[in-house]
Chain A
């Protein structure tokens, strides 16, 4: 009888061990739970909701996904990769079926996106890229380079027309130096302007995409180089700051300012002849495309291009009338 009891105890211990073993083996494959009966869920994880541009991006993506029949939720990463990581973990555990991501950091967001990819959840990047083609199903990005090629061409055309082949001195104000968009814009611009030897960049300095910093940077540059002909800025906020500095220096009519983004205040300034040109991005196109790609993924599409450029339109003195005026703030 005792022998039989021992045998039963041993059998129970081994059974427990086998169950534990099976659970461990299964743990690797069970990473998310999904509700088979309800609609699929789409998470929109956005770098920040403090900037209206990203609010438009996130809300358009969520609205499009909802219109396509999916449950949606917006997560604000507050420009913090650690918070973004928490959002990814929540999205994976909560059974979201796709993630539309506006990354916080080109490098720092790679590990977060890969977590979802490895859990079998597609990730579609919007506007900002991650520096790994394998970290996202598809990246839908503004064609910053080509947009700035168009700005560079207009820059050369307008300044050459004014001064033929006489020397043209210009300043470039860069965005955040760690941001890919900063360099893609700068490279596109220089791919054109550097072909003209009479164009000389007398100063190149970062103002972190910030309006006030750009004003201070240009005020400082003007002390050393009062004879500039133009300023190319990596975004519209900096273009507005540069224009303010030129107004304060009494040079607003002599120096052309060029921006990038298509922000309302710059579009209105182009209309008023204060800013020369900008590149109009379309957050709506990127957001809608990301949601539509998630929908296509659910329906079986897998052959997505790793990166898809979204056209940036040159807005200048000649075509600004094609774009409806917005209310001045």
Chain B
């Protein structure tokens, strides 16, 4: 009898082990939360962009690359210019730079303001088409590993561009007249494989118009 008991106990243990390893119980909402497209907490792109703008991007404008110097380096040593000064969250030929400069307004158009730099080069500050990832990526202060969802990244770009459309562009358009001097910090997008320096457009981040 004790031998049978031992045998049945062993069988019961065996069955218990098999049963324990075969069946899992999880709350349905936990499974949905971990496997769904919106896994985890909902991401608030507007709040993230606002905090990034105030706490990281505006302080980083002090470290922006001088536009004239960058332009000169891009002409003489493209690889060094991209390796030293460009950033991008993604992979590929599209890279972004945080730049600054001072110049005189030579033209005010519907879509941009043209500025003549001390080097004799001209640059356009965009006032109409504020789109893309230049402002999000140029500083290199956002890490791709912070995000599980690329749509969150897209929304950060859209919110940063909205901040510029609402806060930076209106005073720029109101005050920039031909002849005025402007200090600017902004973001630019360049294609590393197909570089065109004659069509650079700066998305303004910080602008000071000196009358």
Contacts and interface: CB of A to CB of B under 8 A. Distances in A.
Which interface residue of B13, B94, B158, B191 has the most chain A CB atoms within 10 A? B94
A178 interface: no
A198 interface: no
A141 interface: yes
A5 to B, nearest CB: 14
B73 to A, nearest CB: 21
Given A132-B35, A313-B191, A307 B14 contact: no
A311 B189 CA distance: 12
A253 interface: no
B39 interface: yes
B18 interface: yes
B: contact size bracket? 35 or more
Interface string A284-313: 010001000000000000011111111111
Contacts of A145: 150-151, 154
Nearest to A192: B131
A308 B153 CA distance: 10
B180 to A, nearest CB: 26
Interface residues of A, number: 48
Contacts of B154: 145-146, 187-188, 191
Interface string A150-165: 1011001100000000
Nearest to A156: B129
A303 B205 CA distance: 32
Given A24-B17, A24-B21, A146-B132, A285 B91 contact: yes
Interface of A: 10, 13-14, 17, 20-21, 24-25, 28, 110, 131-135, 140-141, 143, 145-146, 149-150, 152-153, 156-157, 184, 187-188, 191-192, 282, 285, 289, 303-313, 319, 322-323
Given A145-B151, A149-B132, A282-B92, 9 more contacts: A13-B7, A14-B10, A24-B21, A134-B34, A143-B150, A184-B151, A308-B91, A311-B94, A312-B92
9 contacts: A17-B11, A17-B14, A21-B13, A150-B131, A157-B129, A191-B131, A289-B91, A304-B145, A311-B92
